[in-house]
A and B are shown apart, each in its own frame.
Chain A
């Protein structure tokens, strides 16, 4: 099973700041099989990025994904109040599919 390790565990930031979240895989993942999700309290996760770098429908361009191999990142430019949430990376290149443990982005 591929283990996805996200760092840091928690980020304390202010609105307007920018940040980069890391997702490191225990084995090489083909980029097309790496996604990112956002989850807010009491809500279902929402797909942000598919194929490592493709924004899902309706996702603002302040969200961007990049990376390849074992190292992937999600960048959020100019944090908006609604961006404070937990972010998960997800791989389905190798069964079973796995998620990272999440990075919490909280208001400083």
Chain B
């Protein structure tokens, strides 16, 4: 059974860099799109960006100048780095999978809360 698990610091200081990883277990990382989605407290879901197993990326324009995603197929994981964070970046961050011909997310991690605070 394929599972996704997010990991990373739960607390990041303002102006610093938020770094998260998502480990893929029980299945292949090749042949799918891997996406980050976040949910700020009291708000709806926001698509952050996605990366293919070959490293092709697409980012939300609202975050693009601060965002970098990468994939490590040998270690079955993909990552997110968001620079110059502020309180507005406080959210539960989810990683999710979709097929290459659809952006329906059929598999999700449990989510990890990242709080931006000094």
Contacts and interface: CB of A to CB of B under 8 A. Distances in A.
A37 B106 CA distance: 10
Contact of A99 (B46, B102, B110): B46
Interface string A87-100: 01010100111111
B94 A35 contact: no
Given A35-B104, A45-B94, A50-B102, A99 B44 contact: yes
Nearest to B98: A92
B81 interface: no
B58 interface: yes
Contact of B108 (A45, A90, A95, A99): A45
B105 A47 contact: yes
A50 B58 CA distance: 21
A77 interface: no
Interface in B102-118: 102-106, 108-111
Interface in A64-95: 88, 90, 92, 95
Contacts of B60: 96
Q: How large is the interface on B (under 10, 10 to 19, 20 to 34, 35 or more residues)?
A: 20 to 34
State the main secondary structure of chain A at its contact with B.
Answer: loop
Contacts of A56: 104, 106
A78 B37 CA distance: 31
Q: How large is the interface on A (under 10, 10 to 19, 20 to 34, 35 or more residues)?
A: 20 to 34
B103 A33 contact: yes
A45 B44 contact: no
B11 interface: no
B47 A47 contact: no
B45 interface: yes
30 contacts: A33-B103, A44-B109, A44-B110, A44-B111, A45-B45, A45-B94, A45-B105, A47-B104, A47-B105, A47-B106, A50-B102, A50-B104, A56-B104, A56-B106, A88-B45, A90-B45, A90-B103, A92-B102, A95-B58, A96-B47, A96-B58, A96-B61, A97-B47, A99-B45, A99-B46, A100-B44, A101-B43, A101-B44, A102-B44, A102-B45
